[in-house]
Each structure stands twice: as structure tokens, then as C-alpha cells.
Amino acid sequence: MPAEVPYLIPVFAGFLAGCSAILLRQAERVLGDWLGWLSLVAAVASAGSFLAGFLWAVSTPPVAAPSGAQILAGCLLALAGGALVGWAVRARGFGVLRSWRADRFEQRLPYRAIRRPLELGVIVSTAGLCWLRPAPPVWACLAVWITLWNGMLELGEWELRQRLPACREYLRRTPRYLPRLRAIQRGGATRTNGAG
């Protein structure tokens, strides 16, 4: 199987490096701060591996040239995902997960509605970019990456629950990707009531 889909090897390597980064972060509490740096190196290696797998898959010949509608849809998806990433970063700030701040998550959209808006934005952007390259290896790489990355995110949430017990209620109550309409509407009602 690896001979037929060699571009998936870096994707699986990225998954292993990402899981290692999370487990090293967990072990940092017991074994010392130096593991934090090793965790960061493993996380960067994970991202690089995922990217290498995608670039390898993209280098395969496409089945056909993308149609105009395909180009438009791919660009719109990539832009929508990028906008969600920007919104999530703006709402969260950098380094928030080191010290739990409920005001950053529970009172602000998009984190009030879903707990993984940054990750959802990356998935949507990546899907849009993959849509621009009509090649089965690219789509296979996307499907495997989404599956493995979600496994890594689940492991990351387990580690977060262990490290920051204050976030457990938020993680239990807030859906991962599909927002609850009540959470979005509650934000509009709060702004209206607060303004009056």
C-alpha cells in the first residue's frame, strides 16, 4: 500500500509527531520545562510533515483541468476558511491556552458557538485549495489528514483537560464544529441588551 500512496507517509509521520508533541506537553508537568521546547519542535515537525504530504500529493498529475465553477468554489472555500481563521485568532489572541481565561472563550464568538473555529477554518481553507487540484491523491491526502488531525485534536483536548481543569465545563458544553444556534443568538441578545 505505501508504494501506491507514498505521499501519505509524511501525513502519518505528521500525525505521530503531533501526538508526540501533545504527550511531551503532558509529561512536561512531571519531567520538567525542557520538554516544552521538545514539544514545540515536534509540533513544528508535525506541521511540516503534513505540508510535505500535501505538496507531494499535489505534484501528481491532475485528472483534468479544474472547471471555472471548481476554481470559484475552491477560492471561496479557501477565503471563507481564512476568514474564520482570522476571526478565531482575533477572538482568542495568542497563548490563551497556557492560562485559561473563560472570558475569551465563553463570551466571544466564534468560541462561544464552537470550540474549534481555528481548526475548522484550516480544514475549510485546505479543502478549498485541494478543490483547485482535481487529482485523487490530493483528495485522499485531504481525507486522511482530516481524520488523523481530528484524532490529534481529541488527544490535545484530553491533555488540556488534565492541564487546565477550569476548561472542562466549556469543552463539555461547547460543540466541536457545528454551532448551536442558541449560542449565536444569545450573543446578539446580549449585545442588544447591553447597548440599551
Quick count: other Cβ atoms within 10 Å of Cβ 149?
20
The model's pLDDT over 135-170, given as tens digits with 9 standing for 90+, comes to 999 999 999 999 999 999 999 999 888 888 878 888
**Cα 76–chain centre separation:** 19
**Cα 74–chain centre separation:** 19
Q: Which of 155, 153, 156, 129 is nearest to 141 (CA)?
A: 129
**What's the mean pLDDT when you consider all of the chain?**
85
- Residue 174, SS3? coil
> Do the Cβ atoms of 8 and 29 come closer than 8 Å?
no
Task: Say which residue the cell 475552491 belongs to.
Answer: 74
163-to-39, 100, 109, 168 alpha-carbon distances in Å: 15, 10, 24, 10
Q: Residue 37 is placed in which grid cell?
A: 521546547
Q: Residue 165 is placed in which grid cell?
A: 481543569
Q: Which of 92, 142, 145 is nearest to 116 (CA)?
A: 92
pTM: 0.82
Q: Which of 114, 90, 7 is nearest to 51 (CA)?
A: 7
- pLDDT of 195 > 80? The answer is no
Q: What φ, ψ does residue 3 adopt, rounded to 5°?
A: -65, -30
Q: Residue 5 is placed in which grid cell?
A: 500512496
Q: What φ, ψ does residue 100 adopt, rounded to 5°?
A: -65, 125
- pLDDT of 192 > 50? The answer is no
Rounded percentage of the chain residues whose pLDDT exceeds 90: 54
The model's pLDDT over 83-101, given as tens digits with 9 standing for 90+, comes to 999 998 888 776 544 455 6
Query: How buried is 3 (Cβ within 10 angstroms: 0-12 exposed, 13-18 middle, 19+ buried)?
Result: exposed
- pLDDT of 172 > 60? The answer is yes
**Domain positions in the chain:** 8-195
Predicted confidence at residue 19, as pLDDT, reads 96
Confidence of residue 185 (pLDDT cuts 50, 70, 90): low
Tell me how far apart the alpha carbons of residues 104 and 112 are, in angstroms, rounded to a whole number. Answer: 9
Q: Is the dihedral of CA 81, 85, 87, 92 positive or negative?
A: positive
- Cβ neighbours of residue 38 closer than 8 Å, sequence gap 6 or more: 24
